[in-house]
């Protein structure tokens, strides 16, 4: 064993990646649907760090990992975050989550005068109960001790498994059963124009009289398909190729305009062809569809956009992202030109701009150095919380000139999950010796403290959502998932509430609560630690 210990302590990078590998093997083990995921890396790091006390790599490596995680979160959820701040339901959801986070934070601070828990340990318990690695890093940076990592590692299992159990019990107690909604797939129909009230109108006038969610992507006249333009005047027996997310909406449109026709337009490829391409060119990525200009002579219109596993109607405000699959109606013989315009490279789904990442991260780090005066506290720098704020704003902007701030979803997931894993491994390895020394003295007490902090977090958040702000149940589980933070909780929330509201709630809440948790521990460390 001495030889193994010597090897681990002499090769910190080897130890780091061994920790990552073993941690993920353990993290994939599921007990009744609950798994620790990447959080298991922290516990493996603690075990190896306790066995080989000098095996930890430099702390800067962990900070870099956390930077990648926060930057990826920010650029992905920036649009949803700012939309949540401007909507009534979003403000209610954020208010409920803030009250829950602050309530759990004050419970953690009360552990000091009540039970003699040290401040760094109490704030570590708070960070672990909320599965907030960014808060842990903030405590470590301000208080310079290892007690925060100890508290974090003890409370983290409650932070993952506790909310899942709470959501299950909440759904049973409220007897809420939400059926799985139909898949977000675009439906098409060919409608013959027979209603004389619409004959003689120009195409824009026709569109103005139809629901905004109904698209008309092509017109068939005299046995020829064509793309509609502003000068097109509607005639009797024109056949309209209509698209919508709901089959009933197409049926109602057919009753309004005329009648459904058999699928002649889709079978005819003489005038218009259908092509699906990957969006990978910076000419189109990061731009609203309404701003995309096709070259002169190119006959092309966007019929639908598929992102991930969902179809989306091509509204003028929809912004294309790397890896989107775009369905197009194009003129005959223009396939190559259209592919060049959109890029059509599957490699684009994994590529990212290192210039954008470098500039964005540098701006965030510079913003984190600016001291902000806080009444009663003094001057306080936001650190990595400022990086997250900058990344959120860049994610909302999407692009600035030729710089595309967003990343393909697949590349974003890889980058931020790798960063989080490296951070957890480094913190675990460096805190292992202190962890075992402390847990031997405190016994089960820290476990109870972590449970109390978590109960305050989920109960206050749920009560505010359901009974004060009257949010729907599926939105509530998304808010609770965002307030607690771990993606495993969101995955379970999607099982008991299989709508899109849990994902939207998580996207609105997780970034803002990450910032609230960071600010809380930094301010508490300054005020209480005096």
pLDDT at 280: 86
pLDDT mean across residues, the chain = 86
Residue 293 has pLDDT above 70, yes or no: yes
Please check whether residue 310 lies inside any domain of the structure: yes
More confident residue, 180 or 157: 157
Residue 65 is encoded by which pair of tokens? 């990992």
Please check whether residue 84 lies inside any domain of the structure: no
Please check whether residue 10 lies inside any domain of the structure: no
Residue 183 is encoded by which pair of tokens? 């898949």
Task: Please check whether residue 69 is in contact with residue 133, taking contact to mean a CB–CB distance below 8 angstroms.
Answer: yes
Of 242, 225, 227, give the one whose Cα is nearest residue 186: 242
pLDDT digits 0-9 by tens, 32-44:
655 666 778 888 8
pTM, two decimals, is 0.76
pLDDT digits 0-9 by tens, 301-329:
998 898 776 788 888 888 888 888 899 99
pLDDT at 530: 57
Segments forming the whole domain that contains residue 325: 187-349
What percentage of the chain has pLDDT greater than the value 70? Answer: 93
Please check whether residue 295 lies inside any domain of the structure: yes
CATH number at residue 326: 3.30.70.1450
CA 140/CA 521 separation, integer angstroms? 10
Max mean pLDDT range (14-18, 145-149, 506-510)? 14-18
Please check whether residue 408 lies inside any domain of the structure: no
Please check whether residue 65 lies inside any domain of the structure: no
Residue 356 has pLDDT above 60, yes or no: yes
Residue 380 has pLDDT above 80, yes or no: no
Of 122, 131, 17, give the one whose Cα is nearest residue 426: 17
Please check whether residue 210 lies inside any domain of the structure: yes
Of 438, 524, 518, give the one whose Cα is nearest residue 146: 438
Residue 399 has pLDDT above 60, yes or no: yes
CA 308/CA 217 separation, integer angstroms? 23
CA 46/CA 433 separation, integer angstroms? 8
Please check whether residue 307 lies inside any domain of the structure: yes
CA 416/CA 65 separation, integer angstroms? 8
Q: Per the structure, how many domains does the chain have? A: 1
Residue 179 has pLDDT above 60, yes or no: no
pLDDT digits 0-9 by tens, 233-275:
999 999 999 988 888 888 999 999 999 887 777 777 788 888 9
pLDDT at 459: 96
- Point out which residues pair with 300 in neighbouring strands: 330
pLDDT at 440: 72
DSSP assigned state of 288: B
pLDDT at 377: 62
Q: Lowest-pLDDT range, 140-149, 179-188, 217-226?
A: 179-188
């Amino acid at each position: 064993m001495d030889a193994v210990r010597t090897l681990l302590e002499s090769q910190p990078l080897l130890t780091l990646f061994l920790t990552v590998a073993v941690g993920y093997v353990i993290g994939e083990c599921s007990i009744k649907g609950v798994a620790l995921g990447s959080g298991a890396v922290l516990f493996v790091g603690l075990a190896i760090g306790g066995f080989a006390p000098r095996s930890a790599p430099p702390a800067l490596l962990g900070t870099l990992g956390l930077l990648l995680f926060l930057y990826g979160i920010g650029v992905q959820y920036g649009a949803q975050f700012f939309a949540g701040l401007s909507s009534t339901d979003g403000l209610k959801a954020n208010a409920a989550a803030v009250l829950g986070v602050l309530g759990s934070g004050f419970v953690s601070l009360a552990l000091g005068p009540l039970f003699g828990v040290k401040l760094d340990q109490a704030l570590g318990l708070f960070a672990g109960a909320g599965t907030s690695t960014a808060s842990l890093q903030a405590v470590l940076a301000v208080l310079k001790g290892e007690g925060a990592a100890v508290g974090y590692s003890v409370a983290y299992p409650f932070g993952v498994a506790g909310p899942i159990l709470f959501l299950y019990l909440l759904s049973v107690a409220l007897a809420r059963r939400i059926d799985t909604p139909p898949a977000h797939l675009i439906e098409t129909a060919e409608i013959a124009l027979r209603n004389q009230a619409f004959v003689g109108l120009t195409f824009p006038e026709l569109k103005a009289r139809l629901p905004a969610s109904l698209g008309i992507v092509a017109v068939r006249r005299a046995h020829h398909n064509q793309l509609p333009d502003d000068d097109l005047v509607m005639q009797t027996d024109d056949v309209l190729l209509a698209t919508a997310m709901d089959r009933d909406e197409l049926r109602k449109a057919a009753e309004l305009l005329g009648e459904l026709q058999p699928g002649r337009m889709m079978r005819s490829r003489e005038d218009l062809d259908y092509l699906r391409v990957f969006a990978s060119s910076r000419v189109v990525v990061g731009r609203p569809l309404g701003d995309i200009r096709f070259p002169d002579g190119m006959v092309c219109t966007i019929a639908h956009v598929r992102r991930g596993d969902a179809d989306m109607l091509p509204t003028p405000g929809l912004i294309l992202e790397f890896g989107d699959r775009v369905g197009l109606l194009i003129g005959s013989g223009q396939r190559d030109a259209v592919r060049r315009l959109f890029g059509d490279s599957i490699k684009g789904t994994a590529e990212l701009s290192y210039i954008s990442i470098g500039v964005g991260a540098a701006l965030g780090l510079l913003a984190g150095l600016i001291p902000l005066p806080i009444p009663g506290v003094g001057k306080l720098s936001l650190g990595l919380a400022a990086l997250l704020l900058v990344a959120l704003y860049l994610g909302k902007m999407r692009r600035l000139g030729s710089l595309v701030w967003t990343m393909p979803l697949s590349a974003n997931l890889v980058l931020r999950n790798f960063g989080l894993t490296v951070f957890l491994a480094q913190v675990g390895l460096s805190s292992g010796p202190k962890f075992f020394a402390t847990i031997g003295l405190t016994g089960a007490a820290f476990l109870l403290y972590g449970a109390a902090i978590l109960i305050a977090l989920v109960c206050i958040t749920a009560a505010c959502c359901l009974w004060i702000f009257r949010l729907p149940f599926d939105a509530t589980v998304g808010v609770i998932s965002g307030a607690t933070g771990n993606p495993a909780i969101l995955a379970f929330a999607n099982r008991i509430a299989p709508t899109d509201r849990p994902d939207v709630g998580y996207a609105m809440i997780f970034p803002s609560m990450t910032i609230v948790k960071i600010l809380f521990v930094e301010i508490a460390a300054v005020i209480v630690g005096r």
